[in-house]
Amino acid sequence: MSTRSCPRGDEKLNRRRAACFGLVVALITATDGHVTTSSAEPSASAKAAANASDRDEAQEGKAPADKGRGQIDADTGQKKAGTESLRRELLSGKVVLLQDALKRRGIRATAEMKDQAVLETDSGDLVPLVSDWRGRAFFQDKRLRDRRVDLVGMRRPGIPYFQVLMIFTFDEQGDRQYMDYWCDICSIPMYEIKPCDCCQADIRLRFQPRDLPEYIRKPNP
Ligand SMILES: [Zn+2]
């Protein structure tokens, strides 16, 4: 994936950036800082607004008691109805492709299974990942596979698939890094490989030093 820096003085791009910023401001203003969207997939502006107001995943996983501000999942931009009681958990290991993982266990699976991404946990369990707005990156981007990761996410009763909410990797020094994709032109985060939601330019893989969210570090008893 190529990266693209912001070419100063390029009027067209600056206009696009201004348009993005306008969207964000309008959205924040219109919603009094609370991001709302009814679409299944969060819009770029909702994501950007979430980021701009520094809510990001900090909002994610707040206890249901935190009613006033905790009603919107800032990471997904969706109402948290129905997921409030689902507990966020931390799973650690490496993400690999299912066919390879099965092969190492002496199970030969046909090609139909080869693209399923699974977390191979530290204890050797295989946990299949849902390919959704966040988990999809593991299916798309082999740079995220076969390396140590911490995944914050959730499982629903009766469903073995893990829904990823936050992805952490580790740099060469072993320091924890939060992973997303970033558009240098529009300064907005995205979570899967695609043209920028706003300017359509290429986005780049980004790692930032960041700790686990507090609700994982200090779970309620
Ligand atoms: Zn952009």
d(CA 149, ligand 1 centre) in Å: 27
> From CA 94, how far away is CA 170, in angstroms rounded?
11
pLDDT at position 20: 60
pLDDT at position 69: 35
How remote is the C-alpha of 51 from its chain's centroid? Answer: 12
d(CA 175, ligand 1 centre) in Å: 28
d(CA 182, ligand 1 centre) in Å: 8
Residue of 102 and 43 predicted with greater confidence: 102
User: pTM of this prediction?
Assistant: 0.68
Any residues with CB less than 8 A from the CB of 208 and at least 6 apart, and which? 177, 178, 180
d(CA 18, ligand 1 centre) in Å: 11
The answer on pLDDT for 205 being more than 80 is: yes
> From CA 100, how far away is CA 118, in angstroms rounded?
10
d(CA 183, ligand 1 centre) in Å: 5
The answer on pLDDT for 160 being more than 50 is: yes
What would the pLDDT profile of 101-150 be if each residue is shown by its tens digit?
999 999 999 999 989 999 999 999 999 999 999 999 999 999 999 999 99
pLDDT at position 106: 97
The answer on pLDDT for 37 being more than 80 is: no
With beta carbons less than 8 A apart as the criterion, state whether 131 and 139 touch: yes
C-alpha pair distances (Å), 123 with each of 22, 96, 118, 120:
48, 15, 14, 8
The answer on pLDDT for 12 being more than 70 is: no
Q: Buried (b) or exposed (e) across 89-110, using 16+ Cβ within 10 A?
A: ebbebbbbbbbebbeeeeeeee
> From CA 75, how far away is CA 55, in angstroms rounded?
8
Q: Which residues surround ligand 1, an ion (CB under 5 A)?
A: 183, 185-186, 196, 198-199
The answer on pLDDT for 74 being more than 60 is: no
d(CA 143, ligand 1 centre) in Å: 22
Where are the extended beta strands (E) located within 59-187? 72-73, 78-79, 89-97, 117-121, 126-128, 148-154, 163-170, 176-183
pLDDT at position 219: 76
Helix, strand or coil for residue 208?
strand
The answer on pLDDT for 170 being more than 80 is: yes
pLDDT band at 221 (very low <50, low <70, confident <90, very high): low
